[in-house]
Amino acid sequence: MGMGLNKKDQGKNNDKIKDSLNPNNDLVAVIDGDYIIFKASAVADEHFITATHTKSGSSKEFKNVTEFKGRGKVLGGWLGEQNEERTEKGKSLLALEDFTTTKGVRREKKEDAEGNTLTDDSTLSHYFYSARTMLTSVLKELGASDYVMYIGGKEEFRLNKSKLMKYKGNRDDVQKPLIFKEMRQYAIDHLDAKVVVGIEVDDQVIIDAYSKDNHIVVGIDKDICSQPVRGFNPDKSDLGILNGASLGELELDTKRKIRGYGYKFMLAQLVLGDKADNYSPTCKSDVKFGDVKAHKLLHDISSEKEGLERVIEQYKLFYPEPIVTEDWRGNPMQADWLSVLEEMFVMVNMQRVENDARSVFTEFAEHGVTYEY
């Protein structure tokens, strides 16, 4: 399995950023730079929809669907206004079914002080500055003395391991921001971003920070919360630095969605899966299992061993008998509680060392868990 850093794509250290860091402590920020690249480049996109009247062929552009038809079942927005006028004139009303809508995206237009529209190339520096500011802001907030930033290259590890569902297959048609390529290169050339190949950035930041008390992983992916490192989410800075190398906590938020960190949160991911990454332990099961049930199952465990034992019992309920099915590639396969748990463990757990050989079986052995199969 190829993994690690693409040396060819590594940029030089940005001395100006590093010179501004706090020299009075030894805290190192290990940054998942993909979130910076995506957020800084996404703001350059202007999204819109085009509504075309099927019969006449006439079309009109709108900022979003709400502007076109309003919210809810009752027509509003532009379409609602048109129908009010048609009612006054005694004309037949327009229906939503009379139109087709298509989504579009283009570069946001910016103007100079005189009101002249700037060229796309001339505005790139504005978005680059946003990326730089995002980086320096989080470093300042943490009081970091140094940082290392990683960005994604070609990811193959979990995709190759996935059988039940195509790992991140729900992202196949997701379009990246229009200046994503330019922003990525800027991060390499000017922010000292290092390109990770073979494994995910999530893996590399954990490898860097594992067993190092002075390293803090920075990112907005919830997977960080379930790994045995200290993590910081700049989008939820009020939570502070969370210690994932602990039993942790689980809670339900106001929307009855599970939140947490530490080993408990890792176990919750095992029984729930992750829609964002497109894996689920119940995808071949008839059992319905959601956040509330996961919280009830795991919130009060007193040890890793107890948590794993509860997960095993739940998986046996998911798959009381082996089933014959097909994997996402169309190949025949047998799914039972243990094989599904084995795959989910790979999906949930980030690598801690290069070529990490950990599995659900080594996890059982480490915590003294026995089982009948």
| pLDDT tens, position by position, 140-158 | 999 999 999 999 998 789 9
Q: How confident is the model at residue 12 (pLDDT cuts 50, 70, 90)?
A: very low
Q: Distance between CA atoms of 370 and 373, rounded to whole angstroms?
A: 10
Q: Domain extents for the chain?
A: 1-44+114-237, 46-107, 246-373
Query: DSSP letters along 85-123, please?
Result: HHHHTTPPPP-GGGEEEEEEEEEPP-B-TTSPBPPHHHH
Q: Distance between CA atoms of 94 and 82, rounded to whole angstroms?
A: 8
Tokens for 10, please give them: 């590594």
C-alpha 100, offset from chain centre: 31
Q: Distance between CA atoms of 261 and 239, rounded to whole angstroms?
A: 11
The reported pLDDT for the residue numbered 323 is: 97
Q: Where does residue 207 fall: left (phi above 0), alpha (psi -120 to 50 degrees), or beta otherwise?
A: alpha
For the segment 128-133, the average pLDDT, to the nearest whole number, is: 96
Residue 129 pLDDT > 80, yes or no? yes
The reported pLDDT for the residue numbered 23 is: 80
Q: Distance between CA atoms of 12 and 192, rounded to whole angstroms?
A: 6
Residue 111 pLDDT > 60, yes or no? yes
Which of 2-16, 32-46, 233-247 is least confident? 2-16
| pLDDT tens, position by position, 269-306 | 999 999 999 999 999 999 999 999 999 999 999 999 99
| Residue 277 to residues 172, 261, 269, Cα–Cα distance (Å) | 11, 18, 11
Q: Distance between CA atoms of 51 and 56, rounded to whole angstroms?
A: 12
Please, is 365 exposed, middle or buried when counting C-beta atoms within 10 Å of its C-beta (0-12, 13-18, 19+)?
A: exposed
The reported pLDDT for the residue numbered 5 is: 47
Tokens for 202, please give them: 């999530």
Q: How confident is the model at residue 112 (pLDDT cuts 50, 70, 90)?
A: confident
| pLDDT tens, position by position, 35-94 | 999 999 999 999 999 999 999 999 999 999 999 999 988 999 999 999 999 999 999 999
For 188-220, b/e burial (b = at least 16 CB within 10 A) is bebbbbbbbbbbbbbbbbbbbbbeeeebbbbbb
The reported pLDDT for the residue numbered 350 is: 96
Q: How confident is the model at residue 2 (pLDDT cuts 50, 70, 90)?
A: very low
Backbone angles phi, psi at 221, to 5 degrees: -80, 130
Q: Distance between CA atoms of 364 and 370, rounded to whole angstroms?
A: 7
Give the three-state DSSP class for 261. Answer: strand
For the segment 244-254, the average pLDDT, to the nearest whole number, is: 97
The reported pLDDT for the residue numbered 155 is: 79
Number of helices (H), then strands (E), belonging to the chain: the values are 13, 14
Superfamily of domain 1-44+114-237: 5'-nuclease (3.40.50.1010)
